[in-house]
Structure 1
Amino acid sequence: MQAFISWSGEPTRTLGHELKEFIDTAFAGHVQSFLSDANIAPGERFNDVINDRLETSIIGIHLLARANMAEPWILFEGG
């Protein structure tokens, strides 16, 4: 099962890394978490990876703060 963690800017980026670590530890072998900041390698096509993970993830976790509620990436990944 895959979980997609959506974030935009600080502090949600930091929270995303903490949440990814928790999910990977607590649900090891059952849930694979995806965080763009941690799981997209340099040189990979960012949009292709994001689209693929959005299509294959069963769980979506959207980290919101007042500063990022209207950010295009949050709206795209949540939409």
Structure 2
Amino acid sequence: MKIFLSWSGSLSHEVAKSLDGWLPQVINALEPWLSSKSIDKGARWFEEIGENLSSTDFGIICLTQSNISAPWVLFEAGALSKSLGQARVCPRVISRWLKMLHR
């Protein structure tokens, strides 16, 4: 099962990278899709992201206080929830204490 990992900013990117490595260890059938890792250098990134958003029914959105209203996060959340009957979107809220550890 493919899982789209949405992020915006350095802190949420670090959490998304952690999820990318951890999720397949917990459930072998999971295939995380992380744009910073999954898009080849020189590829048309917008098309790659759009294609993966349209073919994925499950996503985890890594949210921080600074990106909660970022246009790109809102776009990806909307695209993930495209089919209300099948799609699942799980927010992963990154709290202040984790931000302090990140420093």
Using structure 2 for the length normalisation, give the TM-score: 0.72
Residue by residue over 1:37-62, the C-alpha shift from the partner in whole angstroms, topping out at 9 and shown as x without a partner, is 11111111001110111011121100
- Could you list the per-position Cα deviations for residues 24-44 of structure 1 after superposition, in whole angstroms to 9, with x for gaps in the alignment? 22222x111101111111111
Q: Which stretches of structure 1, 4 residues or more, deviate above 6 A after TM superposition?
A: none
Counterpart CA distance in 2 for 1:17 and 1:24 is 12
How many equivalent residue pairs?
78
For 1:40-55, what aligned pairs fall within 5 Å after superposition? Answer: 40-55=39-54
Equivalent residue letter for 1:7 = W
Q: Which residue of 2 aligns with 1:69?
A: 68
After superposition, the CA RMSD in angstroms is 0.9
More relative contact order in 1 or in 2 (CA 8 Å, sep 6+)? 1
What does 1:1-79 correspond to in 2, within 5 Å?
1-28=1-28, 30-79=29-78
1:72, distance to aligned residue in structure 2 (A)? 1.2
Task: Report SS of the residue matched to 2:10.
Answer: coil
Q: Which runs of 5+ in 2 are unaligned?
A: 79-103
Structure 1 spans left out of the alignment, 5+ residues: none
Q: Distance in 2 between matches of 1:65 and 1:45?
A: 27
Bigger Rg, which one: 2
Identity %: 31
